[in-house]
Amino acid sequence: MDTQALPKVLIIEDEESILNMYKFKLEKEWFEVFWAKNGEHIMDIVNESQPQIILIDIMMPVVNGFQALEIINTNISYPAKKIIFSNLSRPGDFEKAKLLWADDYYIKSNLMPKELVSKLKLLLSE
Restricting to residues 61-80, which ones interact with another protein according to CB under 8 A?
Answer: none
CB of 25 to another protein, least distance (A): 6
- Please, which residue, 54 or 60, has the CB nearer to another protein? 60
Does residue 121 touch another protein according to CB under 8 A?
no
The Cβ-side half-sphere exposure at 73, using a 13 Å CA radius, reads 15
What is the C-alpha separation between 39 and 43, in angstroms, rounded? 9
Beta carbons of 110 and 87 less than 8 angstroms apart: no
| Contact pick of 1, 74, 78, 92 for another protein (by CB under 8 A) | 92
In this structure, the chain runs to a length of: 126
Q: Using CB under 8 A, list all residues that contact another protein.
A: 15, 17-18, 21, 24-25, 28, 59, 86-92, 94-95, 108-109, 112-114
